[in-house]
Structure 1
Amino acid sequence: MRSTTRQDGPATAPPATAPGPAAHDAATGLPVAAAARESAERFAELVAALTSGALDCPLPGSGRTAERFAVLTSVAERDLCAARLFEGHVDAAAILAELDAPPPRPGERWGVWAAEPPGEGLHATRDRDGWVLTGLKQYCSGAHSCTHALVTAATERGKRLFAVRTGVADGCRPVPGTWQAVGMAGSDTPDVRFDHVPGVPVGDVGGYLKRPGFQHGGIGVAACWYGGARAVADVLLRAAADRGPDPHTDAHMGAVDMLLHAAAAVLKQAAAEIDGDPSDTGGTARMRSLRTRAFVESVCADVLTHVGRATGAGPLCHDERHARNTADLTVYIRQHHAERNLAELGGLAARKEPS
């Protein structure tokens, strides 16, 4: 498997001249929110560390998937919004590798903009010069800091993945006011308007969703959630240590310790299974992804509850980092599709042959 820092070969899309994340919205001239600037700066530092070799994030299925998840968890424990951006970049690198496309070049910061909620959507058509993308893409994390993105768009033959440059000069314009979140504010996830943006196809029609790595990548997101839960739990750990023995605080601490230990074990097992069958010849990747994501999401929700009940309103009102961690994690885990994903998992489990 190729490393996410491989630099040989031409870029999938032309390189952008962007030394660092923008401090202003190029479409409106207005300053980007402070939280987004902070996370964008951290994102740029992390990508630079990948390029220099100071940080390694192995590809899923490379035999080192547990290390990949550990990196994502560590970044998320420090800054969930930066982790959301970083996870998009390393996921893009994994997608490009899996679909035999050239990897990101030094100085490029990639996102994966593949949400498909109801609405106008994004459409790709051919002209004499190649493919062009027009329409609206929702939930574009890193809209002001990514130089490139992999985006899904509708074609006459079905959904397809394209590599694009994301600058305003290239036809991509973040829509002001479309990201009003308090939690995950720093992930900078507005809608983006595409106006005849050149795109380079990556893989075949439907290839983005059909590849085994789509399921592996979903577990990478769960590793970020787990890091967020660890960050939220830190305030309870400190409270338990400072208060000394207290049955109620200790009970909550015990529950949180159990939950985080279990989540770590599930992620470790998932990583081992991915490395054992990276191409999903056994057809288990979807069930693994659904199980792992659902379990880690439930752990995060329970950690939020235990920490809140144990520590009360004080940390939420007086500890800025804890308040941000709590708000960020609450929003981020909603990327899990709740009962819809559980219903799919239940259907797969019901039809599974007994072992």
Structure 2
Amino acid sequence: MTRIESAKPVWLTPIGKRTAEAGLRDAATAACAVNGDAARALDLARALGGSVPRPGSGQTRRLFETLASLAAADLTAGRVVEAHLDALAILDQAGVDPAGLVGGGTTESSWGVFAAEGAGSRLDARPAGAAGGGSWQLDGTKPWCSLARSLSHALVTAHTSATTRRLFEVDLADPGITVHTEAWVGRGLPAVPSGPVEFRGVRARPVGDDGWYLRRPGFAWGGIGVAACWWGGAVGVARRVWESVLEREPDQIALAHLGALDLALTTAGVSLTDAAAAIDAGDAAGEQGALLAARVRGQVARTVDEVITRTGHALGPAPLALEARHSARVSDLQLYVRQHHAERDDAALGRRLRDAGVSPW
């Protein structure tokens, strides 16, 4: 039975100038070896932290292709590495050296970004001591903290007032931190539990001023980086359809699914390519960046949904029931892409366009 090499690099467009293949192949090979193991994914994240370009560096396309290649090979690897790289990019954008932060970050540190909000959960920050001295204290609960029990450090948003949030760095070994993973029952990304974390008098240091985390151009860029992972995951799932047409003579239905998958994946890849170019050209800041991120994330999320549906229709139940890696890819991708809020994010995009008051087409 023919099998496409899982470590095959992924490029954003099927034609035109491609980035160096060797580096992408090495990254994809390492991701394939992760095989759903979070500890191996963290090792890979630390290994890649100093070599993968930051968004806006002039090599954003290479960053997106790296993330996509990792996710196509193994979604646990893509999910964990993306968060680590995003945290390092945020620190770069803030002009902060990780080595000078709480707990003394090093090249051996592993990072996450905990910025989600949830009903019934709130994390508050206040200066520590009478004078503060640059140190703050966090109290409350933060939802959706991926791998909090395994990471060394995290960037966390917390409320400094009723309406204002600020970004803080914390050492996750602080004794005031309690990680809850008992409620995590997801069949997708099972090695990356994302439960709530309780903070009780946890020492923290601010990164940027009030509101900076959301105002910075990199907020939109990071969201597009996540979409690059979704897209790579979809490529990994769709490769199984390509394998199937090589295994036996395809009928018209199989060929129709293959053609439709190519159209969807190629179109989404072009949107990521254009986004990378806009970021590096300085055309993706402020409202332009937010609009770009909303459009790209929405398009890629719809592509993922189509790929999952068409792949299931083309292949039937056998790969889902009998092939561990394909079954895991589908489950991982179904959960991961739900970071996009479907119709709610479509409505938010519509509101953004309406408020701009200018026809978008």
TM-score norm. by structure 2 comes to 0.83
Equivalence for 2:176: 171
User: How far apart, CA to CA, are the structure 2 residues paired with 1:278 and 1:187?
Assistant: 34
Structure 1 unmatched ranges of 5 or more: 1-34
What displacement does 1:343 show? 1.5
Of 107, 129, 134, 2:139 maps to: 134
Equivalence for 1:89: 84
SS in 2 for 1:184: coil
Q: Which amino acid aligns with 2:198?
A: R
Equivalence for 2:231: 226
Runs of 4+ aligned residues of structure 1 deviating over 6 Å after TM superposition are none
Judging changes above 3 Å, is the alpha-carbon distance between structure 1 residues 273 and 279 closer, same or farther for their aligned structure 2 residues? closer
CA contact (8 A) 1:316 1:322 kept: yes
User: How far apart, CA to CA, are the structure 2 residues paired with 1:341 and 1:259?
Assistant: 20
Equivalence for 1:106: 107
Judging changes above 3 Å, is the alpha-carbon distance between structure 1 residues 45 and 251 closer, same or farther for their aligned structure 2 residues? same
User: How far apart, CA to CA, are the structure 2 residues paired with 1:259 and 1:137?
Assistant: 36
User: How far apart, CA to CA, are the structure 2 residues paired with 1:348 and 1:63?
Assistant: 28
Judging changes above 3 Å, is the alpha-carbon distance between structure 1 residues 314 and 36 closer, same or farther for their aligned structure 2 residues? closer
Of 302, 324, 334, 2:338 maps to: 334
Equivalence for 2:31: none
Judging changes above 3 Å, is the alpha-carbon distance between structure 1 residues 126 and 291 closer, same or farther for their aligned structure 2 residues? same
2:186 is equivalent to residue 187 of structure 1: no
Point out the more displaced range, 103-112 or 305-314: 103-112
Q: Which amino acid aligns with 1:38?
A: D
Equivalence for 2:276: 271
1:110-130: CA deviations, max 9, x gaps? Answer: 100000111122111223163
What displacement does 1:285 show? 0.5
User: How far apart, CA to CA, are the structure 1 residues paired with 2:183 and 2:109?
Assistant: 25
CA contact (8 A) 1:164 1:199 kept: yes
CA contact (8 A) 1:178 1:191 kept: no
Equivalence for 1:18: none
Of 307, 322, 326, 2:311 maps to: 307
Identical counterparts, % of pairs:
40
Equivalence for 1:242: 247
Equivalence for 1:347: 351
What displacement does 1:144 show? 2.2
1:21-170 pair list within 5 angstroms:
38-51=37-50, 56-103=51-98, 105-128=106-129, 130-156=135-161, 158-167=164-173, 169-170=174-175
1:213-259: CA deviations, max 9, x gaps? Answer: 10011000000000110111121111111112311111111111111
SS in 1 for 2:170: strand
Judging changes above 3 Å, is the alpha-carbon distance between structure 1 residues 240 and 279 closer, same or farther for their aligned structure 2 residues? closer
What displacement does 1:294 show? 0.1
Point out the more displaced range, 128-137 or 345-354: 345-354
What displacement does 1:36 show? 10
Point out the more displaced range, 128-137 or 343-352: 343-352
What displacement does 1:50 show? 3.2
Q: Which amino acid aligns with 2:251?
A: D
User: How far apart, CA to CA, are the structure 2 residues paired with 1:203 and 1:83?
Assistant: 27
SS in 2 for 1:163: strand
Q: Which amino acid aligns with 2:353?
A: A
User: How far apart, CA to CA, are the structure 1 residues paired with 2:90 and 2:181?
Assistant: 29
CA contact (8 A) 2:118 2:143 kept: yes
2:221 is equivalent to residue 216 of structure 1: yes
Judging changes above 3 Å, is the alpha-carbon distance between structure 1 residues 126 and 38 closer, same or farther for their aligned structure 2 residues? same
CA contact (8 A) 2:41 2:76 kept: no
What displacement does 1:354 show? 6.2
1:274-302: CA deviations, max 9, x gaps? Answer: 11116726x41011000000000000000
1:113-161: CA deviations, max 9, x gaps? Answer: 0001111221112231631111111111121221000001111372111
TM-score norm. by structure 1 comes to 0.84
What displacement does 1:353 show? 5.1
SS in 2 for 1:170: coil
1:76-132: CA deviations, max 9, x gaps? Answer: 112212211111111111111112211463100110000011112211122316311
User: How far apart, CA to CA, are the structure 2 residues paired with 1:201 and 1:279?
Assistant: 25
SS in 2 for 1:138: strand
User: How far apart, CA to CA, are the structure 2 residues paired with 1:83 and 1:126?
Assistant: 36
2:293 is equivalent to residue 289 of structure 1: yes
SS in 2 for 1:149: strand
Judging changes above 3 Å, is the alpha-carbon distance between structure 1 residues 288 and 49 closer, same or farther for their aligned structure 2 residues? closer
Q: Which amino acid aligns with 1:339?
A: E
